[in-house]
Amino acid sequence: MQQGSFAVDRTHRWAALALVIVATTLLVLGIYHGLLQVLYRAGWIRAASFLGLEYYQGLTLHGVVNAIVYTTFFEVAFGYVVVKHFLRIPLDSRITVLAVAMMLVGTVMAAVPILAGKASVLYTFYPPLKASPWFYVGASLLVVGSWIPFFQWIAAYLQWRRLHPDQDTPLAVVGILSTFTVWLIATIPLAVEVLVLLLPWSLGWTASVDVVLARTLFWFFGHPLVYFWLLPAYVMYYVMVPPLVGGKLFSDKAARLAFLLFIVFSAPVGLHHQYADPGVSSSYKWLHGFFTFCVAIPSFITAFTVAASLEHGARQNGGRGLFGWWAKLPYFDEQRYLFAYAFPGLVLFLFGGITGIVNASVTMNNVVHNTAWIPGHFHTTLGGPVFLAFLGLSLWMLTELGGKPLRLTRWNVAVPYVWAIGVVLFSIGLSVAGILGEPRRTNMALSYSNPDSPLFQPQWEIWTKLGAVGGILMAAAMVIYFAVFFATLFAPAQPVREIRFPTAEALRYESLGVARNFTPWVVVAVIFLVIAYVPPLIEVLGGSTVPSPPYQPFSPVPVGQ
């Protein structure tokens, strides 16, 4: 790669490329274990892994790689590109290299115990499942490594503000800074959980652990985490998609408001994952349920703003009538492939949003909690808009930062559609099975999906198999994606140039005074967090629950073998 005086300089191009390439390579393992999970649940294979990993080990690998490592690596890479491109403030390369190195070393430290069977604790790693200390140390390094870029970006942003006191912050930067504000808020309770509870317990310094406290701290992290995943996709929808469809962003004000509302509402909601937990009063659960409905508001704003922007673009291209304009969107345009990675994700998110609202309702949650419905929900959110946006943007970074010409362009635009059809089948299968009572995270081949077992449940069979057909399609989409990604990676590089970042113009600019400053939003977020979390944490710390000794999931020898 040539040296150039580009906004995204050589070090940051390499840093972002390294993160994207490592993340995508690891994804091969994560996707492979996803496919094995779904085939195993359907009873189509008798072992959960061809690599000798047991069921919970494979599920841990699938969740940790896809949901934690891939997402964090991608987001730090994309954050560097956005901040460097839009702010054009120099960042200290040594600090960037340190951050990337910490993330890589942390990932290796966490991966080794998983592969050795000493950290089969799933991506939620809540006790009494216990992992090797190296797993917790590795995960902590990954998280701390991802904080460092955020502090670099805050310093760059403050410098930019001093240089441009009268300008609104570029929308993409508002999106990235909101994303990482949510991440920082979320990861502080995680750090407390790991450093105060899990690591000493894993090292043998404490004999038992307070499971309810650990779960409460985990979900304090775990729900804002989902918006950490979602917001970069919103950056794509608001900033990059409107120019791709030949239009403008319908409301710049609404977009800024949506990002900032996530800072306020994404965290005081974690107890909606614990409606069924003992040890936490139902009044606090209801409060978190109320905040959960509030956190859907910025997504509703996004649905209307993005739909209006798509319609505006399509009408500029001659679209007419109530629905006729749909025909003018570039669904299969190989050059504007980022639209193909955006659109099916948006459609999937309509279902992800509706199922999320079901989950949030305390009463309806009783029906679906801990059932297959939940993976049905999160494959239309995390596996829908988020994953597709990350796949598309990873390719975009590879071509823009690495000077690589995109290969297999026709196959490439098929990927998101094949994936989306797979997700629809997968999620219908799991959601219906879930409503019929099929549990999630259960070694089905040992029990319910095995006709030789007395626990066999025939009413789930057809839905589990439908889910498996969806899973096969998802895997097929990913095989094509990997072919496109690696063919592009190994294509001869062209001279690198300034990156082309599709950037929306607003249909009209109306400055929103309160959106020009992050501080009031962070202050309100902290107030809401204190209201939502201090009373339940005091209650949990009061110790109404009994600490638990460690527990290992049983060995997965299928019935009949």
465-to-12, 344, 460 alpha-carbon distances in Å: 45, 23, 9
**Residue whose token pair is 């670099």:** 152
* Minimum distance, C-beta of residue 213 to ligand HAS, in the bound complex (Å): 18
**Interaction of residue 514 with ligand HAS, rule CB under 6 A:** no
**Interaction of residue 246 with ligand HAS, rule CB under 6 A:** no
Q: Among 116, 195, 307, 531, indicate the residue that binds ligand HAS (CB under 6 A).
A: 307
Choose between 133 and 270: whose C-beta lies nearer to ligand HAS: 270
Q: Among 337, 349, 448, 485, indicate the residue that binds ligand HAS (CB under 6 A).
A: 349
Which of the ranges 177-185, 247-255, 288-296, 443-451 carries the binding residues for ligand HAS, by CB under 6 A? Answer: 288-296
**Interaction of residue 239 with ligand HAS, rule CB under 6 A:** no
* Neighbouring C-beta atoms of residue 508, cutoff 10 Å: 11
The tally of CA atoms less than 13 A away on the side-chain side of residue 348 is 33
- Closest among 502, 449, 561, 544 to 242, alpha carbons compared: 502
94-to-11, 15, 22, 130, 149 alpha-carbon distances in Å: 9, 11, 20, 36, 11
Are 292 and 274 a contacting pair, CB within 8 Å? no
Q: Among 147, 229, 265, 339, indicate the residue that binds ligand HAS (CB under 6 A).
A: 229
- Closest among 414, 397, 367 to 489, alpha carbons compared: 397
* Minimum distance, C-beta of residue 222 to ligand HAS, in the bound complex (Å): 6
* Minimum distance, C-beta of residue 124 to ligand HAS, in the bound complex (Å): 6
**Interaction of residue 364 with ligand HAS, rule CB under 6 A:** no
**Interaction of residue 357 with ligand HAS, rule CB under 6 A:** yes
- Closest among 119, 116, 113, 79 to 99, alpha carbons compared: 79
* Neighbouring C-beta atoms of residue 519, cutoff 10 Å: 7
Q: Among 217, 386, 477, 484, indicate the residue that binds ligand HAS (CB under 6 A).
A: 386
- Say whether 557 sits in a helix, a strand or coil: coil
Are 257 and 298 a contacting pair, CB within 8 Å? yes
Q: Among 143, 176, 254, 374, indicate the residue that binds ligand HAS (CB under 6 A).
A: 374
- Closest among 30, 117, 38, 100 to 67, alpha carbons compared: 30
**Interaction of residue 378 with ligand HAS, rule CB under 6 A:** yes
Q: Among 356, 392, 416, 556, indicate the residue that binds ligand HAS (CB under 6 A).
A: 356
Which DSSP helix (H) or strand (E) runs through 375?
Answer: helix 373-379
**Interaction of residue 308 with ligand HAS, rule CB under 6 A:** no
Choose between 303 and 479: whose C-beta lies nearer to ligand HAS: 303
Which of the ranges 31-39, 86-94, 350-358, 503-511 carries the binding residues for ligand HAS, by CB under 6 A? Answer: 350-358
**Interaction of residue 292 with ligand HAS, rule CB under 6 A:** yes
* Minimum distance, C-beta of residue 156 to ligand HAS, in the bound complex (Å): 27
DSSP assigned state of 209: B
- Closest among 544, 535, 525, 526 to 283, alpha carbons compared: 535
Structure tokens at 535: 């009373």
Interior angle at CA 95, CA 91 and CA 96, nearest 5? 70
Show which residues are catalytic.
223, 227, 377-379, 440-441
Q: Among 8, 35, 295, 395, indicate the residue that binds ligand HAS (CB under 6 A).
A: 295
* Minimum distance, C-beta of residue 386 to ligand HAS, in the bound complex (Å): 5
Q: How far apart are CA 560 and CA 452, in angstroms?
A: 7
Structure tokens at 243: 């120019």
* Minimum distance, C-beta of residue 323 to ligand HAS, in the bound complex (Å): 10
Identify whether 553 is preceded by a cis peptide bond (ω within 30 of 0): no
Q: Residue number with the shortest CB distance to ligand HAS? A: 353
Q: Among 296, 435, 491, 507, indicate the residue that binds ligand HAS (CB under 6 A).
A: 296
**Interaction of residue 124 with ligand HAS, rule CB under 6 A:** yes
Binding site for ligand HAS (CB under 6 A): 124, 226, 229-230, 272-273, 292, 295-296, 299-300, 302-303, 306-307, 346-347, 349-350, 353, 356-357, 359-360, 365, 369, 374, 377-378, 381-382, 386
